[in-house]
C-alpha cells in the first residue's frame, strides 16, 4: 500500500482528468505512478513531457534500447513496479519475451552487439551516485563505437528519468 493517499479520477484536476480519461477508456484503470503524479499538476505535466519526448516519441535511440535502459535502471534501483510496467510496455513495443528476460538478467546476458552492451553498461554507471567519476574517455569510447553526442545525451537523460521515476515509486511504496 502506498505511503501517501493517491487520488482517484474524480479528485484530479480537470486538466489531468483529460489525460487520464483515454487511459481509463483503454485499460480500465490508472496506475499508481499516474495517481501519485496527479497530486501536483506541475509535477504531472513536467513528467508527462519527459515521457512523451524520451520514451514515446521516435528519437535517435531505438525503442528496444530505450526500454532496455528502462528495465535495467529499474532493476538496479530495485523498483519492482517500474520493472513490471516496463515489461508490459516493452512487449507492446515489440520486444520479444526472450529479449526482456535477457535484459532482466543483466547486460552480459543480452544477445546484442558489444556497442549496445557498452552503452547499456554506461547507463548503469551513469545511474549511480558516483556518476561524477565518469571520465571523458568513457564518452569518447562510446562515440568511437558509433554513438553520436545526441544518442549519448539521450541515453543519459533516459537513465536520469528512470532514477527520478524509480525514486518516486520507491519512496512512496508504489506497487507493493
36-56 residue pLDDT tens:
999 999 999 999 999 888 888
pTM: 0.92
Whose CA is closest to 167, among 95, 92, 78? 78
141-158 residue pLDDT tens:
999 999 999 999 999 999
Q: Any idea which residue has 519527459 for its cell?
A: 50
Q: What is the pLDDT of residue 138?
A: 98
Report the share of the chain in percent with pLDDT over 90.
Answer: 84
80-100 residue pLDDT tens:
989 998 898 888 888 999 999
- CATH class of the domain at 63-170: mainly alpha
pLDDT of residue 66 exceeding 80, the answer is yes
The four Cα atoms 172, 80, 19, 96 give a dihedral, to 10 degrees, of 170
Amino acid at each position: 500500500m502506498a505511503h501517501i493517499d493517491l487520488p482517484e479520477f474524480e479528485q484530479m484536476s480537470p486538466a489531468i482528468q483529460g489525460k487520464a480519461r483515454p487511459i481509463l477508456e483503454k485499460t480500465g484503470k490508472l496506475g499508481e505512478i499516474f495517481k501519485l503524479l496527479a497530486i501536483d499538476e506541475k509535477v504531472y505535466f513536467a513528467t508527462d513531457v519527459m515521457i512523451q519526448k524520451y520514451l514515446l516519441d521516435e528519437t535517435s535511440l531505438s525503442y528496444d534500447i530505450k526500454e532496455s535502459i528502462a528495465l535495467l535502471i529499474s532493476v538496479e534501483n530495485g523498483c519492482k513496479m517500474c520493472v513490471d510496467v516496463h515489461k508490459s510496455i516493452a512487449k507492446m513495443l515489440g520486444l520479444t519475451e526472450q529479449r526482456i528476460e535477457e535484459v532482466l538478467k543483466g547486460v552480459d546476458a543480452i544477445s546484442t552487439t558489444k556497442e549496445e552492451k557498452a552503452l547499456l553498461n554506461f547507463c548503469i554507471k551513469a545511474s549511480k551516485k558516483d556518476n561524477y567519476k565518469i571520465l571523458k574517455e568513457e564518452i569518447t569510447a562510446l562515440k568511437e563505437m558509433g554513438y553520436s553526442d545526441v544518442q549519448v545525451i539521450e541515453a543519459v537523460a533516459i537513465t536520469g528519468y528512470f532514477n527520478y521515476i524509480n525514486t518516486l515509486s520507491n519512496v512512496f511504496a508504489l506497487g507493493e
